[in-house]
Structure 1
């Protein structure tokens, strides 16, 4: 498998890890403020390509996609190579976004912050996705438009090569 194909496969691995986390699935699936108190999502795979995207998805402002929902994007940025087979540098980038009507919850954190905390707990310092240990490289709050807000998490694989 080429190094670029390996990188693309890592996004799928991350998405699979996300749907293995029941708290993340509940936060994506339920619009209730008490989403963590709801039953587990019976078919979390349905969230792939509907709430979890393997590219930096943005909703169409004029269409039905603009409704109140929460989603996560997984992408790889700034990877570069040395020679023909060694990949160096780069970031795993995860965006957690929600409609403003879904941000407030019955818990202490905003929905997007709660999901981001779950993701960070799964990824920071771990070797769970095959590109080596991940080091937290930063977080930024973002606003897509007047209705959608969230956070961007960046992780650097520190021993990938």
Structure 2
């Protein structure tokens, strides 16, 4: 009987070690902290964070994710405008997002929730530049969700226009 107890103890110990190993393997990846002024916080269902809970970005960190240009007219600008920003998909990849919905919040706390695939299928960007100039708060910056509005009439519907949040400060993955 003592031998069975020993085997039981060994099995329980191995099970405990294995479960600890599984927990360690699910630890969040560490992202570098911003060295410049923070312009964006990403929270929610993400596996890469700055502090174990959220991912924080300055503009240089966002720019390093790879710029993309969208040239389009918007209801809020005059004529066709060249926007430069990071693809939403690149941001989601950087934070290892696993959700299906994004809640995007502006500086004035306006929040729009949208399916992630709506943004990624449209190749939407978080714009930080308009016509060669960095977006300032008075210009709907520092970040603005931009769709290629001229590419498809569906991007000019009320739903997509509501998704075009400006003065973005927070993205929550759900």
TM-score greater than 0.5 by the shorter chain: no
Q: TM-score, normalised by structure 2?
A: 0.27
The structure with the largest strand share of the pair is 2
Whose radius of gyration is greater, 1 or 2? 2
Q: TM-score, normalised by structure 1?
A: 0.28
